[in-house]
Amino acid sequence: MGAWASGPAEHEFRELPEKTGFSVDELRSLYKRFMQLCNEEGTLRQEDFEKIEHLQLNPIRSKIIRAFFDKRNFHKTEVGTVQEIGFVEFVTVVSYFKLPETNQTKEQAAELRRKKLRFLFNMHDTDSDETITLEEYKYVIEDLLSSYKTIEKETAKAIADSAMLEVANITGRSMENCGSITFEEFFQILQDVEVESKMNLRF
């Protein structure tokens, strides 16, 4: 906690509660964890994430790790990835999983939903071209199935195909150019998954 008070970029940290919505206590514990992960260095790199043991068994760990370094998740308009992140970016990414405020208006709830779905979309869209192609979706499915050893390649591809077909069915698009999903379509197909209530963690 001492490092918090005397941190070099303390003025940045003062804005964090409003920017991210976390309380000061939550930020403190996140800061502690951040320092623990980066071995007191002050910035996190991909190797630091890979050392986390809980993530070892997670089938989508590469995507999770990548999400932390994806510039699109930093509330800015740039694209691409960075090599190392500071505490501000760390907290910004984690803030996507914050519980919604009580007494939210409908617009705020819709906005929050959009934000969270955007995060998911960015995770799938690895080449940052604002569309999820069939290949990218196939990788998602292969990742999900990777913990089972007896998977044939064609099954994953077949699942991806049928998922895309479903997207086309739901969005009513013609099948000629259904090789990719835009964010709007993604939003539409996942409207029954209550992301704003499921994609939350307690801090």
Partner 1 sequence: MPARCRWAGAWRTFPRVRWVFLLALFAGAVASASAGQVNDTDSGATGGEGTGHHSRRAFPVLAVNYEYIRMPFEISLWILLASFMKLGFHLIPRLSGVVPESCLLIAVGLVVGGLIRLMGETPPVLSYNLFFLCLLPPIILDAGYFLPMRPFSENVGTILVFAVVGTLWNAFFMGATLFGVCQAVGGQLESVGLLACLLFGAIVSAVDPVAVLAVFEEIHINELLHILVFGESLLNDAVTVVLYHLFEEFGNVGIVTLADVFLGIICFLVVAMGGIMVGAVYGVLAAFTSRFTSHTRVIEPLFVFLYSYMAYLSAEVFHLSGIMALIACGVVMRPYVEANISHKSYTTIKYFLKMWSSVSETLIFIFLGVSTVAGPHAWNWPFVIATIFLCLISRVLGVIGLTFVINKFRIVKLSNKDQFIVAYGGLRGAIAFSLAFVLSAKHFPMKNMFLTAIITVIFFTVFVQGMTIRPLVELLAVKKKKETKHSINEEIHTQFLDHLLTGIEGVCGHYGHHHWKDKLNRFNKMYVKRWLIAGERSTEPQLISFYHKLELKQALMLAESGSTAKLPSIPSSASMQGESMRRSTRGRALPQISKVKEEEIRKILRANLQKTRQRLHSYNRHTLIADPFEDNWTEVRLRKKRVEMERRVSDLLHLNSIPPKPNLSCQRMMMGAWSEVKVIVIVKHSTTHVHTTKYVLLLTHSEQWAAMKGSRGAVCGDGALLSGFTVAPWRFGTRTSNLLITGSFPYPLGQPPPQ
- In terms of Cα–Cα distance, which of 32, 196, 168 is closest to 107? 196
Q: Quick check: 138 binds partner 1 (CB under 8 A)?
A: yes
Q: Could you please report the per-residue DSSP string of 48-81?
A: HHHT-GGGTT-TTHHHHHHHHTBGGGGTSS--SB
Q: Quick check: 23 binds partner 1 (CB under 8 A)?
A: no
Strand, helix or coil for residue 90: helix
Binder of partner 1 out of 23, 36, 39, 108 (CB under 8 A): 36
The residue whose two tokens read 């370094």 is: 69
Nearer to partner 1, 11 or 149 (CB): 149
Binder of partner 1 out of 31, 49, 69, 87 (CB under 8 A): 49
- In terms of Cα–Cα distance, which of 90, 89, 87 is closest to 41? 87
Binder of partner 1 out of 9, 79, 110, 165 (CB under 8 A): 165
Q: Quick check: 27 binds partner 1 (CB under 8 A)?
A: no
Q: Quick check: 112 binds partner 1 (CB under 8 A)?
A: no
Residue 78: other Cβ atoms inside 10 A: 8
Instruction: Tell me the backbone φ, ψ of residue 70, rounded to 5 degrees.
Output: -85, 125
In whole angstroms, the minimum distance from the beta carbon of 10 to partner 1 comes to 22
Q: Quick check: 102 binds partner 1 (CB under 8 A)?
A: yes
- Continuous segment of H or E residues that includes residue 181: strand 180-182
> Residue numbers of the site for partner 1 (CB under 8 A)?
30, 33, 36-37, 49, 52-55, 57-61, 64, 68, 94, 97, 99, 102, 120, 123, 133-135, 138, 140-141, 144-145, 147-151, 154-155, 157-170, 174-176, 178-179, 189-190, 192-195, 197-203
